[in-house]
A and B are shown apart, each in its own frame.
Chain A
Amino acid sequence: MSNDVALMAHLMRRAGFGTTRTELEAYVEKGYENVVDDLVHPERGTPIDEDILDRYFGSEGGYVGTWIYRMLNSRCPLQEKMALFWHHVFATGLGKNQHILASTNQIDLFRSVGMGKIRDILLELSKDPAMIFWLDNNENRKGEPNENYGRELLELFSLGVGNYTEDDIKNCALAFTGWTFGQPIPLYPHGYYTPPFLFIEEEHDNSEKTFLGHTGNLNGDDIINIIVQQPACARFISRHLYNFFVADEPQVPSWNVTPPQDPDAIETLADAFMASDGHISHVLSALFNADFFKEARFKKVKSPTELVTGILKLIGTCEGPQPGMAQYASATQLMGQKLLDPPTVEGWHTGKEWIDGGLLTARVNFAVREVSDASKPGIQDIITRLKNNGNPLSPEAFVESCLEFAGPLVVGDTTRQYLTEFAEANGEINFRDDAAAEENQTLLVSMLQLIVASREYQLG
């Protein structure tokens, strides 16, 4: 069992949304493999208090802020991370749908089924009104098919380009004819109502279809059953998981021409997928316990959501309900990730594409602003730890301590030299008593601001 703090921090950045230092130490105490086992079994944990969420946050407009609160406070953080994962893979845009309840129901669905079997996930997705409307399956009828959902189901959601033919797309679409939703009561005058899934028999094409070598009067259920048995599905979902949890891959549309950077890792995950009948929890367990994951520290650019939640964990706020959670939704949007409203059906472009001049400014500004208040619990906790250390710190040791508590974060020589030079301007630093701590807390805040503004902090 590894009790390595840095490894545990890596796990919790990827499988969760970061930790406070106290949470991190508790996880380390538990042991890496045990933590992974708990993460992939969310049913073991105590669910978040839904009544508290409803009491303090209960209005539709605040959903994303409430979701970020869930990310920060869920006792099963991987469940929320998987909701975010599927939201990225099955990208559905509020901009087109304009029905906040349908969109939030979809996220709730991902939270509910997202760690189960891929068959169930794809089936629920195909019945989800937000997805149905997003990809026009509500206009997919016998005799006048609309192939949009059928095409994306194969291209972006399950198999990837090169693993099916145009005829497969056409027949896939025919199998989903009549899969629509009941007209919800309109927003005005009395609010959103949940649209129910609806299968209209008269609009369903019952003709014989051939799909990936299977022939018969196939319906949507049959299509999904065929898809999930394909090794290509195992590899495609595995590559999505690798891209999201391990290391940045190129954008999805290039996957048919650009091989994975670590084919063996994809095979390992695909094997776990096939051996478990597509059970996502089993694949995740294999992923987090694999050496390729453990060795992938700081190989991913943090998504805006990861950056925001990581900073909030660092400063230790939002541990109880509070107004203003929507500001954090706005922050991710400013950094290029408007939750509930991905830009296209491909989801967000990830990796280095999270960063350009303007977006980097937004990321750094947010991080620097949030750590600027020394009264925040997380910063007070660092001060307490430095105070308990007692001894005066050399500039080098002070930098090392700050990097430890801000991650632990590994930085390059240039960054370390810059941080050390800044610390050296203040000579020997100590937090041994309240007066010294108060005198030096401004220095601590400045050091943390430099750290969260660093190039290395953009990586998770």
Chain B
Amino acid sequence: MGRPYGLLRAGFPFHKTLSMRRTTNFPIDIAVGKEGRIYIMCRSDGTAMIRKYTVEDEDLGTMGGYGQGDGQFTWPVTITADSEENLYVSDEYLHRIVAFNREGEHIGTWGEHGTHPGQLNGPAGIAFDPEGNLYVADSLSHRVQKFTKDGEFLFGWGTYGDGEGEFNMPWGVAVDELGDVYVVDWRNDRVQKFNADGEFLFAFGKSGSGNGELNRPAGIDVDQHGDIYVADRGNDRIQLFNAEGRYVQKFLGDATLSKVSLAYMMTNASPNRMRDMADLEPQKYLRSPKSVAVSDDGLMFVPDFGSYRVQVYQNMAVPLTEQEFSPPRRSVTLHQE
């Protein structure tokens, strides 16, 4: 299925909140599985785990754990699923990639610390391409490298800097259905797009807090329409850009109490009273989101790092044909046709 000629953006309402403190402390990333399964990567000082969940707010247990042994991670950054729903986790402290099957069994670890081609130095974002190969943002070496899912080095590009194809501690990576690669250039406050050969296509974003501006952006994803979602961590928001990198809208957070939170609060009288005394406006906002993931059915999952939960939005965009969407205009117009 190719991309639609255009989109009627009918809305992108808040859908639901998942999980709560204790269950998903400091969720740094999320992987979308099949049949409503999701995998939430949690990371805090001295603790790390994958929490397996469903979009119905059901807790299916944990996978992995903090440490340096097999099947453990110390500073996990990104979790992503392959076509068979195996989970791959980058660890920027241990400089490696750890893999699990969807039942949580450790199925592999690869990565050698270093700065030579094929070695890893603070791997952050990871993403599969349509052929099942894995791109890795090798953050401390300011480059992107491509591996097979078993860790065989294929090629890479990038060096330190702020020019085209240069990076300053890149974080998130996403690959679209065409094989093009999107890299969040964290300390340059921008996103760069490359083709599958690593050739620079375009960049968007600059430092700031205005619409389309970025403050140390982290994770990224691309949906089936080519829309680009950026976790604008320092501005506590998600920003949506179209396939050309033009700003479309932002998401500041609209959280409600999740199902599990409601159940908890029904048995805790004191915090209920405190909530009644408090200004509740801040509770809905995102706090330091470090990633974003979109599913094929149009759900946008935002691990709300500072609030121990996941906020979910539903994309209501309608694909348009050429008959339903007039040709591009060079200039804006006041005509109402």
Residues on A with beta carbons closer than 8 Å to the beta carbon of B54: none
B 40-57 binary contact with A (CB < 8 Å = 1; else 0): 000111100000000000
> Does A418 have its Cβ within 8 Å of any Cβ on chain B?
no
Pairs A–B under 8 Å by Cβ, sample size 16: A58-B26, A62-B46, A186-B275, A187-B21, A187-B271, A188-B20, A189-B261, A189-B309, A190-B21, A190-B283, A190-B304, A190-B307, A190-B309, A191-B307, A191-B308, A323-B45
Task: Select B261's contact among A56, A59, A187, A190, beta carbons within 8 Å.
Answer: A190
Residues on B with beta carbons closer than 8 Å to the beta carbon of A188: 20-22, 261, 264-265, 268, 271
Interface size class of A (residues with CB under 8 A): 20 to 34
> Does A43 have its Cβ within 8 Å of any Cβ on chain B?
no
Closest beta carbon of chain A to B60's beta carbon, Å: 19
Within 8 A of A (CB), among B256-289: 257-258, 260-261, 264-265, 268, 270-271, 274-275, 277-280, 282-283, 287-288
- B46 lies within 8 A of A326 (CB): yes
Interface-centre pick from B45, B257, B280, B282 (highest chain A CB count, 10 A)? B45
- A183 lies within 8 A of B274 (CB): yes
- B258 lies within 8 A of A182 (CB): no
Closest beta carbon of chain A to B137's beta carbon, Å: 13
> Does A264 have its Cβ within 8 Å of any Cβ on chain B?
no
> Does B305 have its Cβ within 8 Å of any Cβ on chain A?
yes
Closest beta carbon of chain A to B67's beta carbon, Å: 10
Interface size class of B (residues with CB under 8 A): 35 or more
With contacts A189-B20, A190-B21 known, is A51 near B277, CB below 8 A? no
Q: State the CA gap A57–B45 with chains docked (Å).
A: 7
> Does B187 have its Cβ within 8 Å of any Cβ on chain A?
yes
Q: Give the secondary structure class of A's interface.
A: loop
Residues on A with beta carbons closer than 8 Å to the beta carbon of B306: 191
Q: State the CA gap A183–B275 with chains docked (Å).
A: 8
Interface residues of A (CB under 8 A from B): 51, 54-59, 61-62, 65, 182-191, 193, 322-326
Interface-centre pick from A55, A182, A187, A189 (highest chain B CB count, 10 A)? A189
Q: State the CA gap A61–B46 with chains docked (Å).
A: 9
- B93 lies within 8 A of A322 (CB): yes
- B93 lies within 8 A of A323 (CB): yes
Closest beta carbon of chain B to A347's beta carbon, Å: 26
Closest beta carbon of chain B to A45's beta carbon, Å: 20
Residues on A with beta carbons closer than 8 Å to the beta carbon of B261: 188-190
With contacts A51-B216, A183-B274, A326-B45 known, is A191 near B268, CB below 8 A? no
With contacts A190-B283, A193-B282 known, is A65 near B45, CB below 8 A? yes
| Other A-B pairs beyond A65-B45, A187-B271, A189-B257, 18, CB < 8 Å | A54-B216, A55-B216, A57-B45, A59-B45, A61-B44, A62-B45, A62-B46, A183-B277, A186-B278, A187-B21, A188-B21, A188-B22, A189-B21, A189-B258, A189-B264, A189-B308, A189-B309, A323-B46
B309 nearest CB neighbor, chain A only: A190
Residues on A with beta carbons closer than 8 Å to the beta carbon of B216: 51, 54-55
> Does B144 have its Cβ within 8 Å of any Cβ on chain A?
no
Q: State the CA gap A51–B270 with chains docked (Å).
A: 36
With contacts A188-B265, A190-B261 known, is A61 near B278, CB below 8 A? no
9 tightest A-B CB contacts, nearest first: A62-B45, A189-B20, A189-B261, A186-B271, A183-B277, A59-B44, A190-B307, A186-B274, A183-B278
B260 nearest CB neighbor, chain A only: A189
> Does B74 have its Cβ within 8 Å of any Cβ on chain A?
yes
Q: State the CA gap A325–B74 with chains docked (Å).
A: 13
Closest beta carbon of chain B to A198's beta carbon, Å: 10
Interface-centre pick from A55, A62, A182, A190 (highest chain B CB count, 10 A)? A190
> Does B301 have its Cβ within 8 Å of any Cβ on chain A?
no
With contacts A188-B268, A189-B20, A190-B21 known, is A51 near B234, CB below 8 A? yes
Q: State the CA gap A266–B248 with chains docked (Å).
A: 63
Within 8 A of A (CB), among B292-331: 304-309
- A184 lies within 8 A of B308 (CB): no
> Does B75 have its Cβ within 8 Å of any Cβ on chain A?
yes
- A190 lies within 8 A of B275 (CB): no
> Does B174 have its Cβ within 8 Å of any Cβ on chain A?
no
Residues on A with beta carbons closer than 8 Å to the beta carbon of B309: 189-190
B255 nearest CB neighbor, chain A only: A190
A184 nearest CB neighbor, chain B only: B278
Q: State the CA gap A190–B308 with chains docked (Å).
A: 6
Q: State the CA gap A313–B139 with chains docked (Å).
A: 27
- A190 lies within 8 A of B20 (CB): yes
A62 nearest CB neighbor, chain B only: B45
Residues on A with beta carbons closer than 8 Å to the beta carbon of B93: 322-323
- A58 lies within 8 A of B288 (CB): yes
Residues on A with beta carbons closer than 8 Å to the beta carbon of B46: 61-62, 323-324, 326
Residues on A with beta carbons closer than 8 Å to the beta carbon of B305: 58
Q: State the CA gap A65–B45 with chains docked (Å).
A: 9
Q: State the CA gap A182–B274 with chains docked (Å).
A: 11
Task: Select A182's contact among B20, B255, B278, beta carbons within 8 Å.
Answer: B278
Closest beta carbon of chain A to B82's beta carbon, Å: 27
- B308 lies within 8 A of A185 (CB): no
Residues on A with beta carbons closer than 8 Å to the beta carbon of B265: 188-189
Closest beta carbon of chain A to B96's beta carbon, Å: 14
Q: State the CA gap A324–B187 with chains docked (Å).
A: 25
Interface-centre pick from B46, B93, B187 (highest chain A CB count, 10 A)? B46
Residues on B with beta carbons closer than 8 Å to the beta carbon of A55: 186, 216
Task: Select B75's contact among A56, A182, A186, beta carbons within 8 Å.
Answer: A56
Residues on B with beta carbons closer than 8 Å to the beta carbon of A65: 45
